[in-house]
Structure 1
Amino acid sequence: MKWLRTMVLFDKGGVISSADWQTVHSSYVQAIESIDHPVGSGTLTLREKVKLPGGQWQRNGVGYLRTRFLHSMRDVQGWRAEGSVDLPRDREQPPIQLYPSLESYREPITSDFGGFDFMTTAAGGTRIAIEWETGNISSSHRSMNKLAIALSSGIIEIGVLILPSRALYEHLTDRIGNIGELSGYLSMWEGLKAVVTRGLLAITVVEHDALTRNADLPYLVVGGDGRAREGRSNLP
């Protein structure tokens, strides 16, 4: 798999020049580049999407990519995953106004954000959260929002979202998040640096190495939930 680029949306406190950031970035890029198909080939080759009778597209599933990435980070490179780290419900909400009374009001938090895909602490003590995002596009927005809130709350100092390029998206399960879909929102997340004391928020874009029409190469297995299930139900 190819690492295309890493975009740092903001850096407060010089995290970008720290040894912890350089180490973790090098490590997760290595994990990205270790993802291959077929296994052992050294490159990620995907079957091109094809249009089936009836108009349904056959594409590659995404679970394999995430599983291989996490395996490399934990089992090959030896990063210690710290488990699920959730944002507490009892954190203070900002005051807002009710209309038409104009009273000050704080809406209670009644839902959980859930943990991050990968959470660890680097040698220098920097807390890092990585979201491998091959869920649907709404999941990509949620991941970015979770990372931004964790940074502003001081739970982490480095937040990274890894997601497909537009070209990779074309050959994966329908409506998968990708950089093309998020590009119009980057200025909003960049603007959140004002509420962060120390932290770095980055997006890394990944892509396949090659495409093939060779029918002997199987598609990556499609999962069993959400849009993936919907698409799979229409396959012959």
Structure 2
Amino acid sequence: MKTLVNKGYFSQTDDYKIIRQQIEHATYSIQNPPGSGKFYLHEKEKGNGVVPIKDSFIMTLNSFGWEDEKKVSDPEVKRRKFDTAVKLSGGRYFAVEWETGNISSSHRAINRIVLGILDGVIDGGILILPSRKMYKYLTDRIGNFQELEPYFKVWEALEPSIHNGLIEVIEIEHDGVSMDIPPIRKGTDGRALL
């Protein structure tokens, strides 16, 4: 995990402690094969889709009361199209983005979080990305932690402009690969077809 901005008090709140627990629970709830307690990928480069992985994560957070971009009721949060968000005790939101697009999509995801903080709509956000090791088994050209890392200093430089907010990037990893594991279904557009 990399913290890009940690300004003010938010990271010390009970809201944030609950968020971290729920995100960790949602991450560990992603299992392949289902029910295995582990997360394995089919051992073929570019052989696994990413949307079903994200969907499982989002469904788990929704079970805790988070609202995905289709369900969120707040019009300011809805128009920003965060993958999922949770309403905090103070009335603002916390957003999570799970990368399913290319590296440009990763930049846009963090920028949506930054703008949400600057506009006073959210108190923070997290972007979740695969590691470079995991990336090679996913849809071609998916954004990944190592590819985004050189740009972290751009967002870190924003900290003086932010009164109160938290921005983090979490790198995820798989437990292993196997030819005996069926490929995770791919999407039907863009780079997913490769």
TM-score for both structures, normalised by structure 2: 0.91
1:144 equivalent to 2:133? Answer no
Of 143, 150, 154, the match for 1:184: 150
The residue type paired with residue 155 of structure 2 is W
Secondary structure in 1 matching 2:56: helix
Partner of 2:3: 8
Report if aligned partners of 1:134, 1:164 keep a CA contact under 8 Å in 2.
no
2-structure distance, mates of 1:121, 1:86: 13
Partner of 2:190: 226
Of 143, 167, 171, the match for 2:137: 171
2-structure distance, mates of 1:19, 1:70: 21
Residue 27 (structure 1) shift: 0.8
Unaligned runs of 5+ in 2: none
2-structure distance, mates of 1:36, 1:181: 25
Question: Cα deviations across residues 128-177 of structure 1 (Å, max 9, x unaligned)?
Answer: 01101121111111101111111111110011101111111010011000
Secondary structure in 1 matching 2:158: helix
1-structure distance, mates of 2:150, 2:30: 29
Report if aligned partners of 1:79, 1:120 keep a CA contact under 8 Å in 2.
yes
Residue 213 (structure 1) shift: 2.4
Residue 80 (structure 1) shift: 3.5
2-structure distance, mates of 1:168, 1:197: 35
* Greater Rg over alpha carbons, structure: 1
2-structure distance, mates of 1:84, 1:165: 33
Report if aligned partners of 2:66, 2:84 keep a CA contact under 8 Å in 1.
no
Residue 74 (structure 1) shift: 1.1
Residue 14 (structure 1) shift: 2.1
Question: Cα deviations across residues 190-210 of structure 1 (Å, max 9, x unaligned)?
Answer: 111122111101111111111
1:161 equivalent to 2:161? Answer no
Of 29, 32, 41, the match for 1:34: 29
Q: How many residues align?
A: 190
The residue type paired with residue 153 of structure 1 is D
Unaligned runs of 5+ in 1: 1-5, 51-57, 89-112, 232-236
Alpha-carbon RMSD across the aligned residues, in angstroms, is 1.9
TM-score for both structures, normalised by structure 1: 0.75
2-structure distance, mates of 1:86, 1:66: 23
Residue 189 (structure 1) shift: 0.5
Structure 1 pair 83–126 and aligned structure 2 pair: CA distance change class (3 A): closer
The residue type paired with residue 16 of structure 2 is W
| Deviating 4+ runs (over 4 angstroms) | 84-88
Structure 1 pair 87–122 and aligned structure 2 pair: CA distance change class (3 A): closer
1-structure distance, mates of 2:143, 2:108: 11
2-structure distance, mates of 1:86, 1:201: 22
Percent identical = 37
Report if aligned partners of 1:59, 1:172 keep a CA contact under 8 Å in 2.
yes
The residue type paired with residue 49 of structure 2 is G
Question: Cα deviations across residues 63-109 of structure 1 (Å, max 9, x unaligned)?
Answer: 1101100111112xx22416176769xxxxxxxxxxxxxxxxxxxxx
